Structure 1
């Protein structure tokens, strides 16, 4: 028996109005909560103004998920000897909507396995997702937290934190910020990106 057929039938039934017209549930919240990230972006270091990469973000699966395609334009994070610069992709989607929050799975070409983060919009409309806590080799505990804060001018402030605590601490006493970016629509910054994307 194909167990997917009943699931597909149930999903189709849930997406119909009483008169039989199809309604795409992914055209409304919570599936649209992260639509502000969708676009073709140039990512600039928030402090120095130096271009770091380009990020192409689009809706997939009939609007039910988000696909990210990141290309680093500097040698930061580049694996020694690698023929190309750092790049990676992610899939982000709601979990058990409407109240299950969001999940992202990120994978990059440098190995190390997938990174899974979960979270959702905070009270200010910022998307905040975090990994589960892990124990480091030195006995401390840490987690990664990633943020996307939409700004009024159509840009996004996005940054990541590594939050660290000692084994005997209840809260995180140390925070590192490995990346801090301003997302600018690529159409607004065409001269910021060179033609050497991921080739040097």
Structure 2
């Protein structure tokens, strides 16, 4: 029995040498900006601010290697919906895409100002008015989401909704 011809071995050797083992998976989104909205992550019971009547539950979770925060809004009555939120490094801003069970959608952009996440966009308010949402962490672990609308391009703002997210009594 004879061995492989030298020319076959010569051709195969570079191919074997060039085949590297797969590298480690790409790192998650580890820039500090990706953690700015982490205070919203959790299972929440949602109430109108200053009231004790539960209006919704909301599940907020980090996904996709820590690159995305997904919201699942589950009101006791009305339309369900959700959002995807991420830091867009190239634009140096946070972006949120909201959609719901009525097939409406809205896009928001903004950032963390050191005290709150402030996102502004169109699509929720009538007649193309702007909507600004401010998410702030309370000292008691709750999160407040204040929504305001502006029909004059952001010169003046009128309250639209005001919710307090409290840690859920039961995770659903």
Identify whether the pair has TM-score above 0.5, normalized to the shorter chain: yes
1:60 Cα offset (Å) = 0.7
Deviating beyond 3 angstroms after TM superposition, the runs of 4 or more aligned structure 1 residues are 20-23, 132-137
TM-score by length of structure 1 reads 0.66
Question: Are residue 30 (structure 1) and residue 33 (structure 2) matched?
Answer: yes
Offset at residue 102 of structure 1 (A):
0.2
Question: Given the superposition, is the C-alpha separation of residues 134 and 32 from structure 1 closer, same or farther in structure 2, using an over 3 Å criterion?
Answer: closer
User: What secondary structure sits across from 2:148 in the alignment?
Assistant: strand
- The separation in 2 between residues aligned to 1:56 and 1:44, in whole angstroms, is 14
Deviation at 1:177, TM superposition (A): 2.1
Contact 1:147 1:159 in 2 (8 A): yes
Q: Is 1:106–2:93 an aligned residue pair?
A: no
Deviations 1:115-157 (A, max 9, x none): 000000013x2000000599965xxx72000111011221111
Aligned residues: 150
Superposition TM-score, scaled by structure 2 size: 0.75
Greater Rg by CA: 2
Does the aligned pair in 2 maintain the 1:71–1:88 contact within 8 Å?
yes
Q: Which runs of 5+ in 2 are unaligned?
A: 1-22
Alignment match, 2:47: 44
Distance 1:59 1:171 in 2: 31
Larger proportion of strand? 2
| Contact 1:119–1:128 (CA under 8 A) maintained in structure 2 | yes
Aligned residue in 2 for 1:155: 142
Q: CA deviation at 1:96?
A: 2.2
Please tell me the root mean square deviation across aligned C-alpha atoms, in Å: 2.8
